[in-house]
Every structure is written in structure tokens, then in C-alpha cells.
Amino acid sequence: MKKILVLHTGGTISMHADQAGNVRPDTDNPMNHIGVSLDNIEVTAIDFFNIPSPHITPKHMLQLYQEIKQKAADFDGVVITHGTDTLEETAYFLDTMEIPNIPIVITGAMRSSNELGSDGVYNYLSALRVASHDDAIGKGVLVVMNDEIHAAKYVTKTHTTNVSTFQTPIHGPLGIIMKHDIVFFKMADTRVRFDLTDISGTVPIVKAYAGMGGDGIISFLNPDNVCGVVIEALGAGNVPPRAAQEIVHLIEQDVPVVLVSRCFNGIAEPVYAYEGGGVQLAQAGVMFVKELNAQKARLKLLIALNAGLKGQALKDYIEG
């Protein structure tokens, strides 16, 4: 018998649609009324939060980590139900913590419990199956949606409403859920992990655009109001010249600046040597992140700063 801890946090999977079609939170989580008709699985469910996922903060993520760490010894796996808007961020955060070596699976729904074609119950049962599967051990935090298993590091929400919204660009899913079996194609990457007891600080994301600089958000940033900045740059990792000047000024004030591309696929790297190009930015001290989107790069920098990383150690971790 596999003992699975379920932590409900809210989101569409726990909501209902009213007569006008507006999706609203509910005090009674419908997932608590699902009969778990899966062999050899015993569920202990806790309504840990009941909030829409846009309300989730890194402090909520840290609370989830502490709860999992505290209770892990009594369970064989963990399932977290979560709203989809920030699901990938919570998954990535947990995957960067010193989680126990048991399956940890996050799932959600794109359609609320009483909408036509609701996917919540199916995703929930699928997540329980994966969390109880021996092959899920050692693969880090997994995101299970729509019969697919994704690595927390790479998965992202790609569609506003489609049930197949969660995809992994470049890599594809780690595995799939079949009617009678679960198959993993790949192993998850080795992760550097931290054991934080607190998290604080402000790391904004600034998206690059044509003509950026001079009167944009970067010019208002300084060490008094941010502890780091993520730039979602153009193409392979470039910004307009005036924006580059402002970025250099930030670095001169000891504000760490991390760069990703705003492109959906590919990896940012210092290629172009013109003013504002990636080569100039890297020489100025901008750190290029491999294969993370902006929202995960933000968490990576925030976690690193809270872990006390500075200088070369910070650069090695961010760019590793």
C-alpha cells in the first residue's frame, strides 16, 4: 500500500463556474469528494491553502516545502493540486529545494469542476498514479497534466485555456500516462538544491522591446528597491543600446542582472558584438541563464540571493 500525501492549494481544480460562466473559488474543495478507486493507494488530503494561483508568492512556496519536508517520512509520495497560472513557478521552486527522495507531483485543471469537459478529476487521479509509481522516484518535482509527465525545470504554460497547455519546449515530456501503465522516456537533470528557512527580496522581470531605454522601467531601478533584475531580452540575448547603458549602470551599483530570451524556444547566449548585443552585456557582467524562462530565472536568482551566493559563486550557479 502506497501512502500519498495530498496538499490542496486552490486554483481552478477546486473552483466552480456560476450560471454566468464565471469561475469562482469554493469553500468546499470538490477534490475532497473524489473516490480514489486506485489499487494500493491510501490518500491523506490536507486543504493547505485555498487561493487562486495568482495569489501565490515565494513565501507560500516555502511553506509547501517545509510541510513536505516535515511530513515526508510518513509517506511514499506527494501530490499538490495548484492553480495553473503559477503552477510552473511553484514546481520549479520546490525542485530547487532539498526535497525528500520521494515522488512529488503537481497537477491542476484548465476547466473547473462543473464545467463541460472538466479535467480536474482525471488529472488528480493521474497525479496519484505517478506519485505512487516507483519509476517516479529520483526524478525531482514532476508536473502531470493531460496524460503527460513534465520536468519542473522546463515545463511551461503555453495556452490560456486549452487542456494541453503545459508543454516542455525543446525537450518534450519526461513520460506519458497510459491506461494501464506509466512510461518514462528520460531522466530529470541533476539539480543544485537549497534548504531555505526564509525568502525575501524583490526581483522584477523587464521585457525588452524595440526602442527600449531612456524612460523605461530599468531607469527607475536601484539597490534601494530591488535586489536583482531579470531581463527578457531580444533574440539570442540582445537589447537596444540605451537599455544596455541602463543595465550596465545597474551592475555598477552591484545589482545582479540575469538575462533570458523572450523567444519561446532556444537558449540565450552572447553572440552579437554590437552596442547592446549579448557580447557587450556579458562583458559588463550580465549573467546568461540556460533553458529557463523569465519567471523561473527570477526564482533562481531570488533563491540564490537568499542562500547567500555572491560574486563568482552566484555567477557559476546562475549560468550553470
Q: Give binding residues as ranges.
A: 53, 84-85
C-beta of residue 266 within 8 angstroms of C-beta of residue 237: no
Nearest in space to 298 (alpha carbons), one of 65, 114, 57 = 57
Give the count of beta carbons closer than 10 Å to the beta carbon of residue 210: 6
| Residue from 9, 12, 96, 156 carrying the catalytic annotation | 12
Phi, psi of 99 (to 5 degrees): -70, 155
C-beta of residue 241 within 8 angstroms of C-beta of residue 296: no
Known active-site residue 84: yes
CA dihedral 204, 207, 212, 214 (to 10 degrees): 0
CA distance 309 to 244: 25
Give the count of beta carbons closer than 10 Å to the beta carbon of residue 215: 9
| Residue from 9, 81, 84, 86 carrying the catalytic annotation | 84
Radius of gyration over alpha carbons of the chain, in Å?
Answer: 20
Known active-site residue 12: yes
Cell of 99: 526535497
* Position 144, amino acid: V
Chain centroid to Cα 16, Å, comes to: 25
Nearest in space to 96 (alpha carbons), one of 194, 201, 197 = 194
Binding-site members for substrate are: 53, 84-85
C-beta of residue 303 within 8 angstroms of C-beta of residue 292: no
C-beta of residue 281 within 8 angstroms of C-beta of residue 246: no
- Would you please indicate which residues are annotated as catalytic (active-site) residues? 12, 84
